[in-house]
Every structure is written in C-alpha cells, then in structure tokens.
Structure 1
C-alpha cells in the first residue's frame, strides 16, 4: 500500500484556470441526442434547472424559456427528472431535429 500516490502526486488531467469560466466554452456540438422543450406541458417546477449539470436551462422572470444548445451536452437528466405528465422535455436524436 505504501507505493500508492497521494493526491498531491497524482498528475493533473484537467483543471479550470479560473472559477466560473465554463460559460466561455461552447460544448454542445458533440451530443448525439438533445432535449426538446414542450412549453405547453411545462409546469415550471424547475427540476430540470436544478439537475442540469451544464446550466443549459434558460430562464427569464422566474420561468423556463428554453434550452441553451451551445452548452447542452445531451445527457438527458433534465428529461428524466421532469415530473410533468406528459413530459415537458423529450429527448430526440440530433439527426432528427432538422437543425443540421
């Protein structure tokens, strides 16, 4: 066990040079699926906003207004957490979106 590296000795793989700079980088262009927001089904519970790891849920005046596809990586957590029946977020194949 003594030959294990300590946390100080582990090589750095990636790091943020300054906190809060993730918005400076558009990371949404490599996803294969994406969420589509169905506004009429939305109950404005903000679960999608809370759980989105990329802060890609756009809001204005305390309401969801859409998805920031420049930062959405297509993980599907928002659609999975949506409690609305029918769901307000639906995952579709990027190639089926017509945005290509």
Structure 2
C-alpha cells in the first residue's frame, strides 16, 4: 500500500467571516438601573459578544442592540445588581 496522497493546498482560506445581526433573536433585553450602576465595566468584560460599552464620560452603559442576544450574563455578573432583563416583545 502506498503512503497518503500529497495534495497541493492553496492558502490562506478565502473565506471572510463577518458578524451577522443577531439581535433579532433576543426575547429579553438588559435594562440598567442608573442609580445602582457604578460603571465598573464587569458587564462589558463578561459579555460573550462584546456588545457592551461603558461610557464613563457620560456615566452610562451602552449596548449594541444589533448583537445583544439577551443572554443575561451581564445581569448575573453585575456586582451591584444594576442590570435586569425585561421582556423585549409583547405576548402575541
């Protein structure tokens, strides 16, 4: 038996990966209680899709709603319990 066939592989891969708008999957969305929030940025660090920005100049948390899936990790990790999930869509 002969050894494995040699193949000519052209690289690098020509596929370009881009992020799709996945916010439409969301059933719940995070809501920030601005009185409790201390802008520590822990929610941003734990966000699996990196869609949370802490704007310290304006003292607010900004979400990229095009990519937020409403997973709730930010709410679970907030040490001040300043984030809660609220229903995104009404009951049909």
Decide which of 75, 88, 92 is 2:82's aligned counterpart: 88
User: Which residue of structure 2 lines up, in the alignment, with residue 51 of structure 1?
Assistant: 46
Counterpart mapping for 1:66-85 below 5 A? 66-84=62-80
Runs of 4+, deviation exceeding 4 Å = 61-64
CA distance in 2, matches of 1:59, 1:44: 6
TM-score (norm 2): 0.68
Matched, 1:17 2:16: yes
**Which has the larger share of helix?**
1
TM-score (norm 1): 0.63
| RMSD between superposed Cα atoms in Å | 2.1
CA distance in 1, matches of 2:49, 2:23: 9
Larger radius of gyration: 2
Matched, 1:42 2:42: no
Contact 2:54-2:60 at 8 Å conserved across structures: yes
Contact 1:57-1:64 at 8 Å conserved across structures: no
Q: Please list every run of 5 or more consecutive structure 1 residues that lacks an aligned counterpart in the other structure.
A: 1-15
